[in-house]
Each structure stands twice: as C-alpha cells, then as structure tokens.
Amino acid sequence: MIDFLNYPKFTYDEMKCQCGCGRANMDLVFMDTLSAIRWGCGFPFPVNSGFRCKRWDDLIGGAGVHPKGKGIDIQIYGPRAWMVFELAFKKGSGVTGIGIKQDGPWGGRLIHMDSMPGSKEHPRPRVWTYPTWINVGTVKLI
C-alpha cells in the first residue's frame, strides 16, 4: 500500500475506493505527477474519485483507468480549473488524459487526469468532455 506520508497534499481517505473495500493502490509515479501539479497550483484538490477497485469501476461505468491507480477526478471549476488544466496539459507533466466536465451544478464540475499509455483505441495525449447528464465518480446518473 502507498505511504501517503510521502504525499502530504493527498490523504488515504480521499484516495481510497468508494465501495468500502479500503484499497488505495495509487501508482507512485502518478502520485508524483499529481503532487507536482498540486504544488504548482497552490490550492487543494477536492478529490471526487481516486483509486477504484475493478468491481466499483465496472459498477459505475468507468473506463478502467482508476483501478490501475493512474486516474483521479477532482471537483473544480472556474479559474482554478483553468490553472489545473494548464499545468496538466503541459508537455512533460506526466498527464496523458484529461476529461473535463464544466457545466451543470457547481458541485458536479470536475477535471479527470490520468497517466495511461496510449493504444490504438485510445491514442494519447487525449482530451475529452463529459456529457451534462453524467455524474462521474458516483453510481447516481442524473
């Protein structure tokens, strides 16, 4: 298990799977990437979803990134979202995938970041948007 003492801007509780299994098997290189972006921003990242076990990811319709410990969804909007996007999008940041949901209720706005390698089906780097009707990171679809 990852030692979150090495990542003072993130806690086990916010990064653990929301199904109750207690796993928080985040990729260490990805955590270094997140830490660098977080330090660069200078403000906290409210985490909607960090690690997800495969069962939970399948249940909520995830794409398989979070169970590898290489994905995070943070609740953010406005100028702070822009700052996160700028730092994550920079070449060499370590982020290869950015999902953006910036419409609808403020509490449902987020940025997803991941460090997955590219494939034929999912070339990288990649940026996408989420539809308004989906609430990423929870079972509830609106």
Res 139: pLDDT: 41
Q: What's the topology of domain 4-129?
A: Muramoyl-pentapeptide Carboxypeptidase; domain 2 (3.30.1380)
Closest CA to 84 of 32, 38, 130, 125: 38
Contact in structure between 92 and 81 (CB atoms under 8 Å)? no
The 10s digit of each residue's pLDDT in 85-94 is 999 999 889 9
Q: Give the number of C-alpha atoms closer than 13 A to the C-alpha of residue 46, restricted to the C-beta side.
A: 11
Extract the tokens encoding 25: 């098997």
Model pTM?
0.89
Angle subtended at Cα 100 by Cα 99 and Cα 105, rounded to the nearest 5 degrees? 140
Q: Which residues contact 19 (CB under 8 A, 6 or more apart)?
A: 52, 53, 55, 56, 59
Instruction: Pick 1 or 48 by higher pLDDT.
Output: 48
Domain range annotation of the chain: 4-129
